[in-house]
Amino acid sequence: MSSLPSEPQFERRQGERRKEERERIRQFEERIAGEQDERRRLALMLHDGALQALAGIALMLDAVDHAIAEGQTDDARRVLASAVAQQRATIQSLRDLSSSLEPVALRDQGFEPAVRELAERVGLDREVRVDVDVGPAEALAERAQVTFYQLFRVALNRAAERKPSRISITVADGADGDARLTVADDGHPERRQNGIEELEERARHLSGTVTVERDEAGTTITVVLPGYAARK
């Protein structure tokens, strides 16, 4: 017949359960905060981007109508051409936003092919060598792959702007099931804080952390997602 746990053992077990419960609550609160940050970011992008652009297009079309009524056809054509250009730019911004929410390439091709395609496109456009080693990401949960892809896209474009000769992207397994994304380049050291803040906002959605190392050799950005958020 098994004996009941002693009072010290009972208290220790109770303490461990309370600690585990506090950790679950902390993880839940971090995810909620990350989701709120992401919704806030998307709302700001819509308000300051597409909605403002559409309002501007409406004003331009009103001006076209007025110019036609006044017989000023040359002015009408000029303003209409500007409206069409603005409309095309707005469509592209909405496509970019749609891709941010649900990357089509990631869904259709899988993580590694989608990353390689984007890396090749940026490499050709910016005339920079981009090395990719992201095989371990194929074993990650879909939410982690989407987050890494979004982070990779932002970090890659930021790195290309620093005029490097080489950019490397790696995904590796970390301790306790963590997943680690690293984007390193040999360009000018990153000085813009807003770019880092954007990465932090996106990583926070899955309780991720972002670290940045800068020196004369370039910039290395590392994003770590905890195992409970990264794994299936």
Same-domain check for residues 190 and 226: yes
Same-domain check for residues 111 and 222: yes
| Predicted model pTM | 0.63
Q: What is the structure's pLDDT at 175?
A: 80
Q: What is the DSSP letter of 46?
A: I
Same-domain check for residues 121 and 54: no
More confident residue, 231 or 170: 170
Band (3; pLDDT cuts 50, 70, 90): low
Q: What is the structure's pLDDT at 10?
A: 67
Mean pLDDT of 49-67: 92
Same-domain check for residues 93 and 113: no
Same-domain check for residues 226 and 132: yes
Which range marks the domain in which residue 58 is found? 1-101
More confident residue, 108 or 211: 211
Same-domain check for residues 207 and 125: yes
Total number of domains constituting the chain: 2
Same-domain check for residues 137 and 223: yes
Strands ordered across the beta sheet of 179-185? 129-133, 166-173, 179-185, 218-225, 209-215
Question: Which region holds residue 127: left if phi is over 0, alpha if psi is between -120 and 50, else beta?
Answer: left
Most confident of 22-26, 102-106, 180-184, 214-218: 180-184
- E runs forming strands in 101-165: 129-133
Last residue of a domain, one of 85, 101, 117: 101
CA distance 7 to 163: 65
Last residue of a domain, one of 48, 78, 101: 101
- Is residue 80 over pLDDT 90? yes
Q: What is the pLDDT of residues 176-199, one digit of tens each?
A: 889 999 999 999 888 877 778 888
Q: What is the pLDDT of residues 92-147, one digit of tens each?
A: 888 777 766 666 777 788 889 989 988 998 899 889 999 999 999 999 998 899 88
Same-domain check for residues 39 and 82: yes
Same-domain check for residues 97 and 108: no
Last residue of a domain, one of 36, 71, 101: 101
Same-domain check for residues 115 and 160: yes
Average of per-residue pLDDT values in the chain: 85
The number of residues in the chain equals: 232
Distance from chain centroid for Cα 60: 33
CA distance 199 to 195: 7
Which domain CATH number covers 128?
3.30.565.10
Q: Look at the block and give the residue holding tokens 């409206």.
A: 83
- Is residue 8 over pLDDT 80? no
Same-domain check for residues 146 and 199: yes
- Is residue 5 over pLDDT 70? no
Cα separations (Å) of 191 from 87, 152, 188, 214? Answer: 33, 18, 9, 9
Same-domain check for residues 146 and 196: yes
